Amino acid sequence: MKQHFVTFLSPGTIFFEETSKPIDSWNIEEAKKMARDIKERHGATPFAFYFTTRARTEKELDSKQVKKSFKYYLGGKVETLAEVKARNLPDERILLSNMECNGWDRIVTNTNSWKVTQPLFADDVVLDWEK
């Protein structure tokens, strides 16, 4: 037995708000449609989502995650370490330090609801998104 899920990530106070919903398959367009109906605390809406598949055998009581996708960002501005460094803005010192210390070459900044800046890893995808 197996079931696919899509988990939406929205800005939160300290941690991201997460809402997981069943989905028939890892269908990006269907997940984008579903994202429009997600509203979290303080009016936050999703900035990204990822897929998971959970499965169990007939002999197992609980399912376990057997597969997880990378993140799909619902739009956003992609910037490189070099671009952030070249701006040299005082209010981006912590961002720059985090990028350098963690080896992040690229970031994505999303403003679908509250502003969120995240590292953009090699397999992550920034989708076209209209508010």
Max alpha carbon distance in the chain (Å)?
Answer: 58
- State CA 73 to chain mean position distance: 5
Same domain for 84 and 26: no
Residue 101: strand, helix, or coil: helix
Could you give the number of structural domains in the chain?
Answer: 2
What are 15's two structure tokens?
A: 């941690």
pLDDT tens string 99-117: 999 999 999 999 988 999 9
Same domain for 83 and 42: no
Q: Say which residues have a Cβ less than 8 Å from residue 15's Cβ, sequence separation at least 6.
A: none
pLDDT tens string 60-88: 889 999 999 999 999 999 999 999 999 99
Residue 52 belongs to domain spanning: 2-73
Cβ(95)–Cβ(107) under 8 Å? yes
pTM beyond 0.85: yes
